[in-house]
Amino acid sequence: MLNVSSEAEGVGSGVLIRALEPLAGAEAMARRRGTEKPRDLLRGPGRLAQALAIDRALDGLDLTRDKQLWLGVDAAGESTSPAKIGVSTRIGLTKDAHRPLRFFLKGSRYVSGPAALNR
């Protein structure tokens, strides 16, 4: 899984990246995943990690400074409008399941989880 810590060391807070839209490198991702279906390359935390060759060797990287794995803006260099961000409850939780802690790009066919939660 790809988790991004968002607090100081020792404080339990972060973001789980569950899905991405493949914009570049789809051939390499398809080889790692063993599928040609674009929607199945990066949908779900396990698929995402396999497609991007993310493993424990990358644990602890600084995503603002490292060159192996980093966070960036979209392909056009623009940020996403807040109106395009959907919010729902998290998937597979029983504790605090009512809390809106899942964020996604509305209308993206690459979002994982049930369609009812992706609107």
Question: What pLDDT, in 10s, does the model give residues 65-117?
Answer: 888 887 776 666 666 777 888 888 887 778 888 888 888 888 888 887 777 66
Is 70 in contact with 64 (CB distance < 8 Å)?
A: yes
* pTM, two decimal places: 0.75
Distance CA 31, CA 66 (A): 25
**What residue segments make up the domains of the chain, in order of their start?**
2-86
**Alpha-carbon separation of residue 119 from 7, 47, 102, 113 (angstroms):** 29, 22, 12, 11
Digit-coded pLDDT (tens) for 3-62: 888 888 888 888 888 888 888 899 999 999 999 898 899 988 899 999 999 999 998 888
**Residue-level pLDDT at 95:** 84
pLDDT at residue 74, as a whole number: 63
Which residues, including other chains, have CB under 8 Å from residue 90's CB and lie 6 or more apart? 97, 99, 101, 102
N- to C-terminal Cα separation, the chain: 24
Q: What is the architecture, at CATH level 2, of domain 2-86?
A: Roll (3.10)
Q: What is the pLDDT of residue 80?
A: 72
